[in-house]
Amino acid sequence: MDKRQFLETVTEQIRYGKVREMISDELENHIEDQKEAFMSDGISEAQSYQKAMEDMGDPVEVGISLDRIHRPKMEWKMILLVLGLSVLGLFFQYVMIKDMGAETYPYNINSQCVNMVIGLAVMMFFCFFDYTRIGLWGKAGAAALLLILLYSYFGGVTINGQRGYLRVGGISVSLRQLIYLYIPFYGGILFSCKNQGRKGFIKSIVWGLLPAMLILKLPDLSTAGSLMIILMIQICFVTKKGWFGEWKKKMIIVVSSVIGLPALYYFLFGTEYQKARLFSVFNAAGEGNYQMNTARNLISGSKWIGEGAVNPNGILPTITSNYIVTFVMYYYGILAVIMLLAVLGFFIFKIFKISVHQKNQLGTVIGVGCSLVFAVQIVIYVMVNLTIFPTTAVFLPLFTYGGTGTIVSYALIGILLSIYRYQNVLPQGLKGHLTPAKLSRILINKKIFD
């Protein structure tokens, strides 16, 4: 058997076609290295080739061993966790609609069921989607989202006095939620700027500032602030890894300064209503603090287990979206909230674990970005519910009522599942790399078990 036949026999055993060429190249390099080593001992070239292939073992068994490692795999535990959280979120929506009545709580549980089903379908689509394409399309995807934001200033619609919506086929799309799809594309932008030094760092900063500034003009301080935190943490993450050279400390200082720009803009040019809303957290008795005061009454009247003892003056008008945690605390008890937050904390732990354990650098930066979306949204949501942060439009992934936010959350989870699914297929950059050390371990393990 010559070298070509050996390699063909090995790759025929590998079911995932995209890695066959990569593995064939690495095996060929390994055979060539072994051949050179044997020839240095005085063995002829033909015999050296033969001996190198014999040392690797039976090509069918080698191929089966490589196929076992280099193929996509599902993170079923994560999928089950997401399904569990989805059902729990749907249950809370159902209870709120049932207990409070259609007049107080004018939402349709059937609509949220449809949103969840569509979201799960989107999640599975992205799970089987090769996430490296997001890296390749980073700038194009990010630019498209920015153009949609710009278009909303002229062709968008206003709902409940708020700008930032588009009407697509009779369906309202919230750009405040859609813009979070910018995060995975931004991971691709960071990857494309890698090893470009100061130039790459500046380009990354500009791409990070653009969506936050456009969202701020809607105006929406909470979403703009969340975006800025996520994007800047992504930059700090890759900067610490040396993607932009050795001047790490200076870069992190610059990034920290840039985070303050939207806040400075807000205080200089923001509306008086927005400023009053921000400072309302320090003035519980002030006008316009109805929601915070009602939430505080619910919290103060909560028991460890069961429904609270204090009857609050009125019901929170945005409980379906902004105060689910407060609702659970008052109607089910503090212990129920602790359990809910523990499950959400475990969810955050799982998605970060998927992200940071990747050998693929693109997968890591995209995964960290997607994970930060959930972490930041959950933390801010809980802070608002505990009245530590002022009342604002917040979103609890997999729990809050709504179409765009629900589907976007599932899309980001799907991308994380894709990163896990392909982690053994593309362990390095966009093309992948089967290292000689890894190949040697595979061959050694095969011989041991033989």
Mean pLDDT taken over the chain: 80
When mean pLDDT is compared across 115-129, 326-340, 415-429, the lowest value belongs to: 415-429
Query: pLDDT per residue over 190-211, tens digit each?
Result: 999 988 888 888 899 899 889 9
CB atoms within 10 A of CB 419: 28
pTM of the full structure: 0.81
Residue 356 scores a pLDDT above 60: yes
Ranked by mean pLDDT, the top range of 29-38, 127-136, 139-148, 288-297 is 139-148
Q: How far apart are CA 366 and CA 373, in angstroms?
A: 11
* Helix ranges (DSSP H) in 217-282: 221-240, 248-269, 272-279
Highest mean pLDDT among 247-261, 295-309, 336-350: 336-350
The rounded distance, in Å, linking the Cα atoms of 147 and 175 is: 11
Residue 435 pLDDT more than 50? no
CB 304 within 8 A of CB 322: no
Answer positive or negative: Cα dihedral of 225, 228, 229, 231: positive
301: tokens are: 């009247």
58 compared with 342, residue with greater pLDDT: 342
- The pLDDT assigned to 267 comes to 61
DSSP bridge pairs for 159: 162
pLDDT above 90 for 183: yes
Lowest mean pLDDT among 255-264, 355-364, 435-444: 435-444
Higher-pLDDT residue of 384 and 28 is: 384
Give yes or no for a contact between 408 and 181, defined as CB atoms under 8 angstroms apart: yes
Q: Under 8 Å CB-to-CB from 204, ≥6 apart: which residues? A: 189, 190, 193, 235, 244
- Nearest CA to 420 out of 41, 73, 31, 16 is that of 73
Question: Looking at the predicted structure, is the pLDDT value of residue 348 above 80?
Answer: yes
157-159 sheet: strands from edge to edge: 157-159, 162-168, 171-174
pLDDT at 61: 78
Sequence-distant (≥ 6) Cβ neighbours of residue 85 within 8 angstroms: 343, 344, 347, 398, 399
Lowest mean pLDDT among 55-69, 251-265, 279-293, 381-395: 279-293
Mean pLDDT of 341-346: 96
pLDDT score for 447: 45
- Across 35-45, average pLDDT: 82
Query: Which is more confidently placed, 144 or 357?
Result: 144
Q: Which of 385, 386, 415 is nearest to 400 (CA)?
A: 385
pLDDT of residue 266: 59
Type of residue at 246 = E
The region of weakest confidence among 72-81, 107-116, 178-187, 213-222 is: 213-222
Res 147 pLDDT > 90: yes
